[in-house]
Each structure stands twice: as C-alpha cells, then as structure tokens.
Structure 1
Amino acid sequence: MRLYKLLGFCFLVATLTSCTFTENIYINDNGSGKFSVDMDGSSLMEMAGDQIAGQMGDDAKKDIDSTFTFKQLFEQKKDSIAKLSPETQKELKKLENFVVTTKMSSAKKQFLMTLGTDFKNVNELQDILQTLSTFQKLEGGANASPLGSGFGDNNSKLSYTYDGKKFTRKATIDQQKLAAKPKDSAADMSKMVFASSSYVVKYHFPKKIKKVSNPNALFSDDRKSITIQYTFTDYMENPDKLNFDVEFEK
C-alpha cells in the first residue's frame, strides 16, 4: 500500500470514530529517551470492518503490518513540499525521524497506529504534536495529521522539561490563535466525535516519583511510571488541564 494512501486511511479512521490516544514518554538516566503517540481505532473496525474492507479493496484482504519513516513519505511528496514556505518546510523536517507503525486486521477487528521517535533531551519535543498539524498543508491523500483532523492543533504551545529533580508538562493557550479560529459545523462535528474519545499520558522515569500535581495520576508498582487519563475534549478545548509536575525522590 502506498504510504500516503495508508495515511489517508488513518485520517479517515481517526475522524469517523472514537479512539484512544496514548502519549508515551520514556526517559533514561542521561535524559535521553523515546516519545510516541499511539492511536487505537479498533472500535471502528469492530463496528464497520466489512464496509472498510470494501473501501480498501485488495489492501484489506490481508493483514497490514507496516513500518516506515516520515523521511520516506517526504521523499514521495518532495515536489509538493518544495512549493511550501521555508518555515513550513522547516516544521516538517522536525518529523523526519518519526517512525510510523500500523497494524490493521479486518478479521481481528484491529487498527493500531504508533508514531514514535528517539530524543537526546526531552526539550527537543517542544510543540512536536502541533507540528503534526502541518500535514494539512501537503497536497492530496490525508489532508491533516495522520492521527486525525485537528490532532495537535489545539491552540496551545506544549513544552516538556526534565532536570532529574522535576518533570513538567505544560501547554500554554495561544489566545490570539484561539480568537482567530473559525466557528464552523466541521468543528462541531469533530467535537461530537471526540466527545467519546480518550487521551492518556503514560510517562516512565529512571527515578522513583515522590509526588505528582495531578491527583488522578496512577502509579506503577515501582513508582517510576504514571498514567493519567483525560477526555479528548479536554485535550482539544482545555489543553492546559493536562498540565502537571512530577517530583522525584532524592
């Protein structure tokens, strides 16, 4: 299956059904680590797997287990990218090292997608989710982020910091961008779809956690990992509700 066709289908899944989005961060002792966003759209396969198989044609007759990098995708779309502004091209370049893994099975009613990358310092991830919305500027195929319409474009700037003593996730609302965003029926439709979706953060640290500012955080047995679940509506409309600090034991 061509990469862009696959991304187009991913966009369709994320737009038409409730999904669970999971933001994962693994931080090592030296501050390096792995970042990923997982999308589980299996609920759509459960409800409409046969219809999707008809839409996908021969591609749906066998299970899909696909892995590629955005760098490969950008090579396919290099002519379109060359027409974009230097600023937009620079934004897209941030995604080159992201690896996209997709598993789809009509028989198993499964649709899973992961976007992941390594980092040397968590500060490298500033606004990385917002960068995904840059996909809407590419021609053809998926006309938005592969994780669905509006994903990452929640009118905020997201930053992460970690110094060994404290970790912070902070989204700052961009009031100017929020005021300029049009109110339309498409936005209302997205709101209806995402009302039943979830956004989960799972963070894994090299040290034991002393405390977390969010009272809903669930700890792993070794107290080195936390899981916090939000509604996707909060992620889209109140991204600062996902802000929290983590303090570690000495």
Structure 2
Amino acid sequence: MKLYKLLSFSFLLATLTSCTFTENININDNGTGNFSVDMDGSSLMAMAGDQIGNQMGTAAKKDIDSTFTFKQLFEDKKDSIAKLSPESQKELKKIENFVVHTKMSAEKKEFVMNLATDFKNVNELQDVLQTLSTFQKLEKGGGASPFGNNFGDNNSKLSYTYNGKKFTRTAVIDQQKLAQKAKDSSADMSKMIFASSTYVLKYHFPKKIKKVSNPNALFSEDRKTITIQYPFTDYMENPDKLNFEVEFEK
C-alpha cells in the first residue's frame, strides 16, 4: 500500500471501533525525551477482521508492518500542502519528524498504530496533538488526524512543563471553539463512536515521584512511572479533567 492509502485505511478502522489510546512521555535526566501515542484497535480485528479484509480488497488482507515518517508522507502530498495557508504549513512542520508505525493482521486479530517523536524539551510538545488534526486539511472534506475522527482537536490548548522539581500537564479549554462544537451535528456521532474507548496517560520520569495531584494515578514499583486511565469522552469533551501536577523527591 502507498503511505497515504495505508493511513487512510487506518483512519477508517479508528473511526469504526472502540480503541485504547495511550499517551506516553519518557523524560531523561537532562530534560530530553520521547513522546508517543499508541492506538490499539485490535478489538475490531477480533470481531470483524475477515469482513474488513473482504471489503477493503486484496491489499488489506495481507499483514501490514509499516514504518514511515510524516516527512515522507508530506513529500507525497506536497502539492496539497502548498495550497494550505502559511499558518497550516507551519503547523504541519511541527510533526514532520513523527515516526508512524502500523501493524495490522486479520489472521492474528491485530491492529496497532504508534506515532512517536523525540524532544529536546517537553515544552516543545505544546499543542502537538492538536497539530495532528491539521492533517485533515490535506484532503477536502476528508480524513482526520492519523487516529481518525479529528483526534487531537478537543477544543483546548495543551502544554507540558518540567523543571526537575515539578511536571505539569495543562489543557485550557477554548470556550469559543467549544460553543461552535455544540452546534455541530456530528458531535453526537463522535461521542457515540468513542463511548467505550479509553485514554491512558503513561509518563516516566528520571526521579522518584513524591506526589501526584490526581488521586487515581497508579505508580510503578520504583515510583518513577505513573499511569492514569480516563474514558475517551473525557479527553474529547472535558480535556481539563486530564490536567495534573507531579512533584518529585529531592
């Protein structure tokens, strides 16, 4: 499959099924690190993998294990990108180094997708998920972010901070965009599609954690990793519920 065809097919699967989305951040001693989002849509393949393969044709019946960067994808879509506004082109520039890894097998009942990138400072990740939704502008009226159905565009501005003493994840809701979304007839459809999906935050730090503002956080044995799980509807409709602060031991 060509890169864009593969990603478009992934859009379809992400839109059709309940998935588990996991947002991962790994921070090193010097503040550099890695950010990724994983999507596990294997439940759909378990239920309807054969039927999907039949509907999508011979190519979709084959096992897929594909890795590419957005930079490669943007090269394929350079004519469409040239027609975007300078602001949108600048937004896409932020994600060109994301590596996309997709594994799909109807026989093994497997469908997983991973988007990952390195960062020099966690502040670089400001609005990175919302930037993914800019991808939908490459096709008129179509597509969405790599995880389908406008993933990342949850009417908020997301930022992260880390200074060695504290870490924060802060989403500030854009009330104007929220009001516009309330008038959108497709909002109820989106809510229905993702009603049984989950959104997981899994963050690893170089220091032991003293305390976390979210009481539902689970700690690893060494207290350097936390995991917090939310309904996906919270991520989309109440993104500020995912805000929290971490304090570290001295």
Q: What TM-score, normalized to structure 2? A: 0.97
Q: Name the counterpart of 1:218.
A: 218
Q: Is the 8 A contact 2:21 2:200 kept in 1?
A: yes
Q: Once superposed, which parts of structure 1, at least 4 consecutive aligned residues long, lie more than 3 Å away?
A: none
1:208 Cα deviation (Å)? 0.3
Q: Name the counterpart of 2:63.
A: 63
Q: Is the 8 A contact 2:19 2:40 kept in 1?
A: yes
- 1:22 equivalent to 2:22? Answer yes
The count of corresponding residues between Structure 1 and Structure 2 is 250
Structure-1 separation of matches of 2:159 and 2:81: 27
Q: Name the counterpart of 1:154.
A: 154
Structure-2 separation of matches of 1:142 and 1:210: 45
Q: Is the 8 A contact 2:54 2:61 kept in 1?
A: no
Q: Is the 8 A contact 1:125 1:159 kept in 2?
A: yes
User: What secondary structure sits across from 1:196 in the alignment?
Assistant: coil
Structure 1, unaligned runs of 5 or more: none
Q: What's the CA shift string for 1:104-142, capped at 9, x where partnerless?
A: 000010000000000000000000000011011112696
Structure-2 separation of matches of 1:24 and 1:94: 18
Q: Name the counterpart of 1:86.
A: 86
More deviation, 185-194/133-142:
133-142
Structure-1 separation of matches of 2:71 and 2:230: 32
1:173 Cα deviation (Å)? 0.4
The root-mean-square deviation of aligned C-alpha atoms, in Å, is: 1.2
Identity %, equivalent residues = 83
User: What secondary structure sits across from 1:181 in the alignment?
Assistant: helix
Q: Name the counterpart of 1:34.
A: 34
Structure-2 separation of matches of 1:10 and 1:60: 10
User: What secondary structure sits across from 1:117 in the alignment?
Assistant: strand
Q: Name the counterpart of 1:168.
A: 168
1:60 Cα deviation (Å)? 2.8
User: What secondary structure sits across from 2:57 in the alignment?
Assistant: helix
User: What secondary structure sits across from 1:228 in the alignment?
Assistant: strand
- 1:195 equivalent to 2:160? Answer no
Structure-2 separation of matches of 1:90 and 1:219: 38
Q: Name the counterpart of 2:125.
A: 125
Structure-1 separation of matches of 2:18 and 2:36: 19
Structure-2 separation of matches of 1:214 and 1:61: 43
Structure-1 separation of matches of 2:12 and 2:249: 44
The one-letter amino acid of 2:23's match is: E
The one-letter amino acid of 2:236's match is: M
1:183 Cα deviation (Å)? 2.7
Structure 2, unaligned runs of 5 or more: none
Q: Name the counterpart of 2:109.
A: 109
Structure-2 separation of matches of 1:98 and 1:131: 12
Go from structure 1 to structure 2 and tell me whether the alpha carbon gap of 1:189 and 1:141 turns closer, same or farther (over 3 Å shift): closer
Q: What's the CA shift string for 1:173-220, capped at 9, x where partnerless?
A: 011111222534422111011110000000000000000000000000
Q: Name the counterpart of 1:177.
A: 177
Structure-2 separation of matches of 1:141 and 1:39: 24
Q: Name the counterpart of 1:239.
A: 239
Structure-2 separation of matches of 1:182 and 1:237: 10
The one-letter amino acid of 1:241's match is: K
The one-letter amino acid of 2:167's match is: F
Structure-2 separation of matches of 1:62 and 1:129: 30
Q: What's the CA shift string for 1:38-63, capped at 9, x where partnerless?
A: 00011111111011111232223321
Q: What TM-score, normalized to structure 1? A: 0.97
Q: Is the 8 A contact 1:196 1:232 kept in 2?
A: yes
